[in-house]
Amino acid sequence: MRNQPGILVNTPDVELWPAYLLRARGNRDARTLARAHRVLRRKRDGRYLVAELPEGLMPLLPRWRREPGIDAALDALDAVPAHARSGLQVGTLPLHRLHERMRTLGVDADAYARRTGLPLVAEPDRLALAGFDRYRRPLWLHVDAARAWARLRAAAHRDGVVLEAISGYRSHDYQLGIFERKRARGLALDEILAVNAAPGYSEHHSGLALDIGAPGEPPAEESFDATAAFAWLTGHAGEHGFAMSYPRGNPHGIVYEPWHWRYRPAAGRA
């Protein structure tokens, strides 16, 4: 394994995943993933493109070298060992293609920003493994938020409260997919925008936000505010740098989300 097996290297079109965290999608994948360090995965649909093995690259998709953004991903792959030696320095990806993507949804980006007051949110170029969510999926967060989430969960546990992660980092492509799936189910655009930020405007893109739940409770439901977990968060989350982003009557026009909390690092806090 690489020196930092719990790091996701992020590029605009392709993610570089630690191979041990990925599920095989067939016998050939299983044999390859068992020996791989990292796998380059297409962000828009999760397709595996190529695996990095000790002896070199193993294609997992025909014509993978023609994939958009593959050169940037290969450059990032080459930089991983030096990056691991020098420590984790987190930068951000460029905010590109977002207006084009919003036009495909029928959203006027400038009008949306004026109406909601939400800023564009860049994706980090490195994300840290912060454990696993309720569904046993890898939970990726900004490195600072990953550390803070571990402290938050530990403090709650000491008080007899169990906090579950429902989801953390989401790419711009993932957010676009949410909209496309909901539109396919017949939901109107305004209905979706009432509960989901437009692609590029979700706090989840930063890796600093996560949705929190409690065992036995449905995910991302207003009923979460009646739980002991929510009561504990209300009283203690601020001590660990977390705040609820969308309370009732928030100025962004987003529905009340008692489950959505964002890490806001203060000076001197890491």
Q: Whole-angstrom Cα distance, residue 1 to residue 82? A: 14
Based on the domain organization, do 167 and 235 belong to the same domain? yes
Based on the domain organization, do 75 and 187 belong to the same domain? no
Based on the domain organization, do 118 and 197 belong to the same domain? yes
Based on the domain organization, do 112 and 239 belong to the same domain? yes
What is residue 136's predicted lDDT score, i.e. its pLDDT? Answer: 96
Give the pLDDT confidence of 118-132 residue by residue, as tens digits: 999 999 999 999 999
Q: Whole-angstrom Cα distance, residue 193 to residue 191? A: 6
Based on the domain organization, do 139 and 235 belong to the same domain? yes
Based on the domain organization, do 192 and 115 belong to the same domain? yes
Question: For residue 110, is it within any domain?
Answer: yes
Question: For residue 93, is it within any domain?
Answer: no
CB count, 10 Å around CB of 122? 16
Based on the domain organization, do 104 and 237 belong to the same domain? yes
For the four alpha carbons of 151, 168, 259 and 111, in that order, the dihedral sign comes to positive
Give the pLDDT confidence of 184-243 residue by residue, as tens digits: 999 999 899 888 889 999 999 999 999 999 999 999 999 999 999 999 999 999 999 999
What does the mean pLDDT of the chain come to? 91
pLDDT at 85 over 60: no
Question: For residue 180, is it within any domain?
Answer: yes
Based on the domain organization, do 142 and 162 belong to the same domain? yes
Containing structural domain, residue 34: 7-86
Query: Which residues does 63 contact at the CB level (< 8 Å), separation at least 6?
Result: none
Q: Which of 86, 114, 141 is the last residue of a domain?
A: 86
What is residue 115's predicted lDDT score, i.e. its pLDDT? Answer: 92
Query: Which residues does 218 contact at the CB level (< 8 Å), separation at least 6?
Result: none
Tell me, rounded to whole angstroms, the distance of Cα 248 from its chain centroid. Answer: 24
Question: For residue 268, is it within any domain?
Answer: no
Based on the domain organization, do 109 and 75 belong to the same domain? no
For the four alpha carbons of 70, 72, 73 and 74, in that order, the dihedral sign comes to positive
Confidence of residue 267 (pLDDT cuts 50, 70, 90): very low
Query: Which residues does 33 contact at the CB level (< 8 Å), separation at least 6?
Result: 19, 20, 22, 24, 39, 51
CB count, 10 Å around CB of 28? 11
Based on the domain organization, do 166 and 215 belong to the same domain? yes
Number of domains in the chain: 2
